[in-house]
Amino acid sequence: MIKINKKFYYPSSTRKIIDGKRHYLVGEEKLPSVTSILSACQSEEKRASLEAWKNRVGEKEATRIKDNAASRGTLMHTILEGYMLDKPIVNLTPEGVLAGKMAQQIVDQGLKDKLEELWASEAVVFYPDMYAGATDGVGIYEGKEAIIDFKQTNKPKRKEWIEDYFLQLAAYAIAHNQIYQTNINFGIILMCSKDNYYQEFRVEGEEFKHYANEWWKKVDQYYKQKVDKDK
């Protein structure tokens, strides 16, 4: 069983769509989500690639694939949260069974005997006046302060395809360090495909610093775009 240590207070928040983008309402602040910033600052190359995929499979099929993946991912996250908090969740629908098998791969290969201490699950973290987000897990992983994020995927990924995931980890860690005076410079992605293929991707040390710097560039770009739009 994972040790739960509620050593920090994480604020409650609500989510709201503002100008088509997800925001977190934390106290008096309305902060854009990490994913909203990343989406708004996508490279032209990535936008073109996504558009080409939509054109190839068709708009209707693309929507179906994305909706199924999102639903499956939500179920998998819920099951994993239940595991970490020692509140088992069982979903016997066909989609729930699939998500449960994926979650079990992550538990067996990525969490058991590795996540030593959980500070919070689905914790809202924020950087004042800048951004907010919810990390799947934060605590001690293999002896190190860490941000943990779960991802489902339709097919296995290469590291170079998932830079945005590393930027997410850096964003959450920066916010946590700012508010709670922690020193998190390690993040890990625990991923499983719908065919039950498990992968994990780590970022730490100099590589983590690189993604932290790249994240701040995205934040700067986002607010510059916002100023231009509001003119």
Quote the CA–CA distance of 36 and 40 in Å, as a whole number. 6
Residue 231: pLDDT band (50, 70, 90) is low
Number of domains in the chain: 1
pLDDT tens per residue, range 124-171:
999 999 999 999 999 999 999 999 999 999 999 999 999 999 999 999
Phi, psi of 140 (to 5 degrees): -110, 115
What pLDDT does residue 129 have?
Answer: 95
What pLDDT does residue 45 have?
Answer: 77
Q: Among residues of the chain, what percentage have pLDDT more than 70?
A: 99
List the beta strands (DSSP E) in the chain: 3-4, 14-18, 21-26, 29-32, 115-127, 131-141, 144-153, 186-193, 198-204
What's the domain range around 204? 3-230
Structure tokens of 124?
Answer: 């809202």
Specify the DSSP class assigned to residue 53. Answer: H
Quote the CA–CA distance of 136 and 10 in Å, as a whole number. 13
Residue type, position 124, single letter: V
Q: Residue 35 above 80 pLDDT?
A: yes
What's the whole-number average pLDDT of the chain?
92
Dihedral (CA of 12, 187, 83, 93) sign: positive
For the domain that residue 78 is a member of, what is the CATH number?
3.90.320
- Other C-beta atoms within 10 Å of 60: how many? 9
pTM for the full predicted model: 0.92
Q: Among residues of the chain, what percentage have pLDDT more than 90?
A: 72
What pLDDT does residue 176 have?
Answer: 97
- Residue count (the chain): 231
Residue type, position 47, single letter: R
- Report, as an integer, the average pLDDT of 117-121: 96
What pLDDT does residue 48 have?
Answer: 75
pLDDT tens per residue, range 159-202:
999 999 999 999 999 999 999 999 999 999 999 999 999 999 99
> Between vectors from CA 12 to CA 8 and to CA 18, what angle results, nearest 5°?
135
Q: Residue 28 above 90 pLDDT?
A: no
pLDDT tens per residue, range 39-77:
999 877 777 777 787 788 787 887 888 888 888 889 999
CA distances from 60 to 53, 177, 179 (A): 12, 42, 43
